[in-house]
Structure 1
């Protein structure tokens, strides 16, 4: 409901622990996807916008894409959870992706291509983030504080978040809030090599070119930068996660707008119909990873 003053109780990731915020009053404009059916909304060129009714299917695609990713396992393969079964670790892995996917449907843009969610991409659009209390509450992201182990929380909130947040701000500078952010893209093993990831990337990069905006991503698989370079991304630097026995590298890549490629599939005027209009003055804390190893075998994740 728009323009109604009310009280609510929400959760936020404040520092590195969820904080309950009570009696928050004010005017809240809330634009929420309410799909008539569970079918994804057709957008053109085989790309579909994923709705809230489909977040589990979309997250399952990403879970399969990230099954062996070093960054994904960085939070589940921890010493203080060595006694956990593989199923317990998998369930946590899926839960993390479900929370993140749900949050991106609420405040970002989630795309799918191919049959049975063959490829899923999560984008954060210019001027948008999902660090507001309501999104964190509704998506379930606050539950990560209670589901991750002590070491998992340290890696997730104290190392991973600050490193990626600070790196993106350092690399993008004044363009940080004005760029497109490919925060998650994953292709199921059976759907790779069919061009689905290309469609999910170019659907947005066409808009970035038309608007003169850059795109940003992080890649945790050594095979992926070569793939991303085909779409115009270039490696800027490499950063490292160091708390595990094996150091995990992430390549930071930026795609500058490319003159002449001005056919836009997604204009910012169209964004209002895709995401909430609620704005935030707080810089998002973001996390991103990529999975690859073969043609179209790419994936990325972000919590912001």
Structure 2
């Protein structure tokens, strides 16, 4: 097997959405935010939402896929999507605003098309978004911005092959060259925290979301840029 990393293409989107859905099926946040009762979670509705997010990410994020170069099917084995650093004083561009509106429209159409949100608990979703905004306002103190790991996923059955590491190091190397920090949030403490720590991340804060007696913890992690090694004399 030869794992290769490439920028996402439109043809990759169905496989990318499937990879993300399968990877997050047992994720604590997913279990908390979606109704897990039989017949409540609509996989097709969720895939449609993920595809819309992928289309937005192609134009607005650093979005990469991992594939086996020996697999003629081109199945996506891993996904990494990072938001680009944004200066605190930098306004949103018209193109970004338009893409955001287009994503909103597509998700609205999915709402009508599938007659619902596919099991998403919108109250819990907005609780998470508010807590996330509050925490980021508290701990994001670098005005030059961060490389924000929005999604990193490895298709089940392909862990331990270095796919996640490749998808993360692709960006952390760039961050090091630019002397920038990286940031991510994980709702799975084990084994994710230990894995991210090996890649240079440290836990800065635990984000706590609660509704109806059910609680979810997410771990906010930063990575400081690593200095370039000096050539030996």
> TM over 0.5: same fold?
yes
Provide the aligned C-alpha RMSD in A.
2.7
> Equivalents in 2 of 1:261, 1:51: separation in Å?
35
What are the Cα deviations for residues 68-110 of structure 1, in whole angstroms up to 9, with x where unaligned?
11211333217xxx5x616x43233323322222211121121
C-alpha distance after superposition, 1:201-228 (max 9, x if no partner): 0000000001010000001001111000
- The 5-angstrom pairing of residues 214-293 of structure 1 reads 214-223=181-190, 224-260=192-228
Counterpart residue number, 2:51: 98
Structure 2 residue 37 is the aligned partner of structure 1 residue 69: no
Could you tell me which of 146, 154, 171 is aligned with 2:123?
154
Are residues 131 and 162 of structure 1, via their aligned partners in 2, closer, same or farther at CA, if it must alter by over 3 Å?
A: farther
2:146 to 172, 176, 179: 179
Quote the residue 2:7 is aligned against: 49
- TM-score, length of structure 1 as denominator length: 0.62
Q: 1:144 to 1:132 in 2, by over 3 A?
A: farther
> Is this contact kept in 2: 1:65–1:186, CA < 8 A?
yes
Residues 42, 118 of structure 2: 8 Å contact kept: no
Where structure 1 has 5 or more consecutive residues not aligned to the other structure, the ranges are: 1-44, 263-304
Greater helix content: 2
Which sections of structure 2, spanning at least 5 residues, go unmatched?
Answer: 69-74
The one of 112, 118, 125 aligned to 2:77:
118
